[in-house]
Structure 1
Amino acid sequence: MLHKGDNFTTKLAHRIRSHIRKTCKIWNLYGPAEATLGSTYYLIPSTSDQPNVPIGQPFPNYRCLIVDEFSQPVILGEEGELLIGGVGVFAGYLGRDDLTKNVLLNIDDDLFYKTGDIVRLDSHRRLHYLRRKDHQIKLRGQRIELGEIEGCILGASSFVTACVVILWSKEYLVAYVQSDSTNAKLLRESCEARLPLFMVPSLFIVLAQLPLNPNGKVDRKRLPSPDFFGLLAQTEVANDRPTNEIEEEVHGLWCKVLGQDTGHISISVSFYSIGGHSLLLVQLYHRYQLLFDFDTSASTIAPFLRQTTIAEHAKIIGTIKSFDRKTKRWQSFNVNTGMTNNLNFLPEKY
């Protein structure tokens, strides 16, 4: 049995094996159309503990090179862009010399195709596909590999069979997940445990089937638009409203920062799960400082980054206010005591 066309996981291989004869062998093939479809191959063992299946080694009469951003060869284990040379490399795009010039290289009198795929070579000389080169984005000053997020989501549950992460409106990371038995909360918790906060998607959309194009690839143009306002409406729970004055004030600030002046937000929902991100949280922190009259000496932004619900923020602020009141009482006591002691030592003529 031959597999080709998308990243192949060990989990998927095990699922396939459960439906075929034990004597049937599964091969993972890799290769772009510009290199006549098949360029590398790998025989998948019946037992494997690695999450992703390698793309293997080149077919006879093919060559594979891995280069860095400066077109220099990388060392063993280091990632880089895969170049394919050999008998199957195409001559160019018909009538598009401009595109051809960008993807074909002449190295030692051999023609190589720049795949745009990031790979690495392991100690057994097997190639591992990592991600697309053009799937790196920059969000709020941070460089993010979308493939790293997708890999984290795929590893979060055995029921997740496909995933694609996109940058929505240049502001939010949105994850589209194909599964019939998982939920957004589980996926978010897994991502928060394994990824930096700025890489955790703002929204997880779970679908029974991701839309595909005629070639069997995910059709990104047909993915449903994320509905952040609908998500906010879903968080409205009758018994999950603010229960004290601080929670009321925190809730009001959340609505303003998130652009929901007339809405309601559950006090137990995560700031990041309803369209919030790190820059908005910085704004929220400064609003807390102004409204509740404290500075960074009383509390840094760190606890607000770790605890991300209205109830948790209100509890942090309540602790700050309590500590501030005790400090002021202690300072007042010291001043009063000092004044009394000083009066005791005044000369008698006074």
Structure 2
Amino acid sequence: ALLNGAALVLVNREILASGEELVNKMAQEKVTTVTLPPSVLAVFPKTELPHLQTIITAGEKCTTELVKNWAPGRKFFNAYGPTETTVCASMYLTDPEEEQAPPIGRPIGNFQLYILDRHWRPVPIGVPGELCVGGVGLARGYLNRPDLTAEKFIPNPFSDRGERLYRTGDLVRYKPDGNIEFLGRIDYQVKVRGFRIELGEIEANLNEYPGVRDVAVLAREDQPGQKQLVAYLVADEENKPSPAELRDHLKERLPDYMIPAAYVFLDAMPLTPNGKVDRRRLPAPDMEAAVLRREYVAPRNETEEKLTAIVAQLLNLEKVGVYDNFFELGGHSLLATQFISRVKEEFEVELPLITLFEKPTIEQMALAVQEAKLVSKAPAKPQIKRIARDSRRVRRSDLQQRSGKKPDNNEPQGKPGE
């Protein structure tokens, strides 16, 4: 700003944390260009800022809603660049008519961006990988931290001039048009029930849904041994999606083990002093309110009562209705195995595990249990036993002895030759 004859407006953390006060400050100072994290821009009240000509977002994933709200009538750039690369490495001029979240664009001059797998090989278009940055903006390293410097600043395998790359730890992928899409942090890779999951990929897909302004996904273990995915969302009040809609949206794009068990709506994301989402302050979900439920209908018979009790205990819920879906309540494959085992103990019937996946509601499972009971109580079919041919021959004298009659000497007593 100063090198180009502009005034640089500085604000304290209190003003930065309050969207309304920051907007008032920008209006008062007639700010023409502003750089903000998306999570700060998301809490801005909708107001006219006639002097504001250029908005630059950086530091977090920018959403479609932010672009639609703030891009019309001005330039809106979605930029990317960590401190280790002198702040900016790529940029993208957004379009409010685009329905997808804006990418971080292409490298700016004198920078190179590489998307690599864990073996430092370039990944194909559409495949997530770690973003590595090369170019004149790279820092020399971390002060008095040679170990961290060696870990993060690696030799450039695509150069023979002794150049280096900076490993950003950010998860990205190439779009078909060559722009780069930011997905999240490699650090946010978790393992749930044996599956390795990139939380950033879930967040990226949720951010695409209309009405969603900000998203964070965590793997929580509030109950020992029950780690599950929880999605935190900030959404437009007039266009707020339901958990069922979000779940259906994800099921079209992601495998079942990447579908969050609970959806928590917040007025705003908790932020760190530098304006990024503070994941440690995201609240534990109230599972009774956060899980996906159908209209509650109480159990109507003994079988449904026992099944709802089993589900409630397995999923730590107080109340389960007959139309509730086991998996939408937070169930997963490991809990499904426990459920089938409990059903066997309670009802003394054998049900294959696939039954729960095909009939996931209490009502459907109750019918399956009753059908299994009827099959187990059906009278056994008579068994036909094959006997040897000789055993079917019965002497007539034997029959007469049993009946008390004397044998007739003129009648044959068996087969000739016997």
What is the TM-score normalised by the length of structure 1? 0.81
Q: Is the 8 A contact 1:184 1:206 kept in 2?
A: no
Distance 1:154 1:234, change over 3 A: closer
1:342 is aligned to none
The structure 2 residue matched to 1:246, chosen from 298, 303, 320, is 303
Choose 1 or 2 for highest CA Rg.
2
Q: Is the 8 A contact 2:218 2:229 kept in 1?
A: yes
Q: Which amino acid aligns with 2:299?
A: P
Q: 1:318 aligns to what SS in structure 2?
A: helix
The structure 2 residue matched to 1:149, chosen from 187, 193, 202, is 202
Q: Deviation string for 1:204-236 (max 9, x for gaps)?
A: 1111211112222111121112233x5499989
Answer yes or no: is 1:119 the counterpart of 2:192.
no
Distance 1:256 1:55, change over 3 A: closer
Within 1, Cα distance between the matches of 2:322 and 2:366?
9
1:90 is aligned to 139
Q: Which amino acid aligns with 2:301?
A: N
Distance 1:175 1:110, change over 3 A: same
How much has 1:165 moved relative to structure 2? 0.8
Within 1, Cα distance between the matches of 2:228 and 2:192?
8
Within 2, Cα distance between the matches of 1:207 and 1:272?
24
Distance 1:95 1:203, change over 3 A: same
Q: 2:92 aligns to what SS in structure 1?
A: strand
1:28 is aligned to 78
Distance 1:54 1:277, change over 3 A: same
How much has 1:12 moved relative to structure 2? 3.2
Mean CA deviation greater in 120-129 or 205-214? 120-129
Which runs of structure 2 are paired with 1:217-232 in the superposition (5 Å)? 217-228=276-287, 230-231=288-289
In structure 2, runs of 5+ residues without a counterpart are: 1-53, 386-391, 403-418
Q: 2:140 aligns to what SS in structure 1?
A: coil
Q: 1:210 aligns to what SS in structure 2?
A: coil
Q: Is the 8 A contact 1:231 1:274 kept in 2?
A: no
Distance 1:173 1:95, change over 3 A: same
Q: Deviation string for 1:187-217 (max 9, x for gaps)?
A: 3343345433322222211112111122221
2:245 is aligned to 186
1:12 is aligned to 66
Distance 1:208 1:77, change over 3 A: closer
How much has 1:65 moved relative to structure 2? 2.0
* Number of aligned residue pairs: 326
How much has 1:258 moved relative to structure 2? 3.6
1:161 is aligned to 213
Q: Is the 8 A contact 1:183 1:206 kept in 2?
A: no
1:174 is aligned to 230
Which runs of structure 2 are paired with 1:33-52 in the superposition (5 Å)? 33-45=83-95, 47-49=97-99, 51-52=100-101
The structure 2 residue matched to 1:308, chosen from 352, 360, 366, is 360
Q: Is the 8 A contact 2:323 2:361 kept in 1?
A: yes
Which runs of structure 2 are paired with 1:184-333 in the superposition (5 Å)? 184-228=243-287, 230-231=288-289, 240-258=297-315, 263-295=318-350, 299-325=351-377, 328-329=378-379, 331-332=380-381
- RMSD between superposed Cα atoms in Å: 3.1
Within 2, Cα distance between the matches of 1:241 and 1:103?
57
In structure 1, runs of 5+ residues without a counterpart are: 340-344
Q: Which amino acid aligns with 1:222?
A: R
Distance 1:191 1:43, change over 3 A: closer
Q: Which amino acid aligns with 1:16?
A: W
The structure 2 residue matched to 1:60, chosen from 89, 101, 109, is 109
Q: Is the 8 A contact 2:63 2:208 kept in 1?
A: no
Mean CA deviation greater in 8-17 or 213-222? 8-17
2:388 is aligned to none
Distance 1:249 1:136, change over 3 A: same
Q: Is the 8 A contact 1:137 1:143 kept in 2?
A: yes
Within 1, Cα distance between the matches of 2:186 and 2:290?
34
Within 2, Cα distance between the matches of 1:269 and 1:120?
37
Mean CA deviation greater in 169-178 or 7-16? 7-16
How much has 1:47 moved relative to structure 2? 3.5
1:134 is aligned to 187
How much has 1:123 moved relative to structure 2? 4.7
Within 2, Cα distance between the matches of 1:60 and 1:10?
26
How much has 1:257 moved relative to structure 2? 2.9
Identity of aligned residues (%): 33
Distance 1:71 1:321, change over 3 A: same
Within 2, Cα distance between the matches of 1:231 and 1:273?
12
